[in-house]
Amino acid sequence: MAIILKKIKALEREIDDYLDLVVRGALLFKQGIKYFLEERAEEFTRCLAEIDKTEHDADALRRSIESKLYLETLIPDSRGDVLGILESTDRALNLTAETLQQFDMELPFILPETKSWYVDLTEASMSALETMVTAVRAYFRDLSAVRDHINKVLFYESQSDAIAEKLIRFVYRTGEDLSRKNHMRYFARQIEKIADQAEDVCDRLAIATIKRHV
């Protein structure tokens, strides 16, 4: 029994390390968007390289965790839920890296008067992602706190929806070319999608938490 408990503790530390990488991805994304909007190409490129490495490190760690869950039959009662939460969390991190890469590849034109909204949208989406990580940590440490963190994620997700809608409405009422309008809308929606994915993780988390209470 002592050996099993030791392995479970080691697994929980790995999950913590994985979640640290998700938070790092959120911070790098915020920096990357800021640098892009400020046309600081060198700093943006550095952020892009760092978030790419963070995503790869997180993928490797997630695979290690999943392997231990299967091969060592740790936490068998919750294994399926933990795997689902990790996979859904991974999609959120992947979205941050993919979106920053799309900014680099497509170099969207951003109206100067909308830049503050892109910053606000990024802040709201990353707050949803960071709070989602706190909710996942609570699932392993303090089940009673999970609901409060989930509610905060839902608040940030609704904020991101509202900011994106306001931004897009403004863009389509300007005299810019339709192609530019569509491009700005697309990138606003891509940033918003990260908050949506954080909400999806919390949906899984809420169900998993209820099952552990039963």
Domain with 190 in it: what CATH number? 1.20.58.220
CB of 122 within 8 A of CB of 100? Answer: no
How many other C-beta atoms lie within 10 A of the C-beta of residue 119? Answer: 16
Distance from C-alpha of 46 to C-alpha of 40, rounded to nearest angstrom: 10
Q: What is the pLDDT of residue 140?
A: 86
Q: What is the pLDDT of residue 77?
A: 64
| Mean pLDDT per 10-residue segment, the chain (214 residues) | 65 91 97 97 97 96 86 66 92 97 97 97 98 95 92 98 97 95 97 97 93 69
**Count of domains in the chain?**
1
pTM > 0.85? yes
Q: What is the pLDDT of residue 30?
A: 97
Q: What is the pLDDT of residue 80?
A: 81
User: Which residue, 121, 103, 127, is CA-closest to 27?
Assistant: 127
Residue owning tokens 């993780």:
201
Q: What is the pLDDT of residue 12?
A: 82
Q: What is the pLDDT of residue 213?
A: 64
Residue 59, H or E segment:
helix 41-71
Q: What is the pLDDT of residue 3?
A: 58
Q: What range does the domain containing 10 cover? A: 2-213
Q: How many Cα atoms occupy the beta-carbon half-sphere of 108 within 13 Å?
A: 24
DSSP per-residue letters across 2-45? HHHHHHHHHHHHHHHHHHHHHHHHHHHHHHHHHHHHTT-HHHHH
